[in-house]
Amino acid sequence: KRSMVMSEEEKKLTAYHEAGHALVALNCPEHVPIHKATIIPRGQALGMVQYLPEKDQHSQKVKELKAILCSALSGRMAEEIIFGKENITYGAASDIQKVTQIATSMVTEWGMSEKLGRLRYSSNQQEVFLGHSVTESKNISDDTAAIIDKEIRNLINEAEERSRKILTENIKDLHTLAKGLLEYETLTEAELKDLIKGIQPSRDDDFDDNTTVTPTPKTSVPKSGGTTAPQPN
């Protein structure tokens, strides 16, 4: 719903959530390029970061999948870092679903777990996500199911740690991108990179990304690429 009206608090939280996704993706060399980041609501989403592969992909490497896990978790991680654990939202629900599906496939279908080897452990049913679910649908021991769960959790925990490290080490850039999204609402990858360098987006009067974005003649985004951190609520 493009007509959805968000409060200033919701806009700020959404801006940091999407800035978190964007910043981590920019800092993962193996990640696919960003098409755009926006805080203009679409459907049930208050904002989003869209990605644009440089070429058609028929397969993905382990390091590319791990980069996707990392960037997908970074929206929630940015919320937690800036606003505190008590103020995180359920806006990361689709991100959590995405990382669960990818990590589970890596472990149970794609043979990417050294402990489990090159065996397929998932059933043909799409609803299988965790090891105990596999146990219910196939004749797999409890010990193997526990290993499956642990391997899935390890992948997600590793991605969370990497995400937190990137965000905390580049916290000034996180503030800069969030303020840029609050001001311009939609930013391309080139504009995100420019903001980090202290270069402001140049917008024509007819700028349009299939959304309505009003160019802002003056900017409060710091030219240095940094800003004073807001106090967590």
Residues involved in catalysis: 18
121/104 Cα distance (integer angstroms)? 10
The token pair that represents 46 in the structure block: 């208050």
CB distance 23 to 74 below 8 Å: yes
Pairing of strands 34-38, 48-51: antiparallel
Tokens of 134: 């596999």
Tokens 């905390």: give the residue. 168
Count CA atoms within 13 Å of residue 65 on its CB side: 18
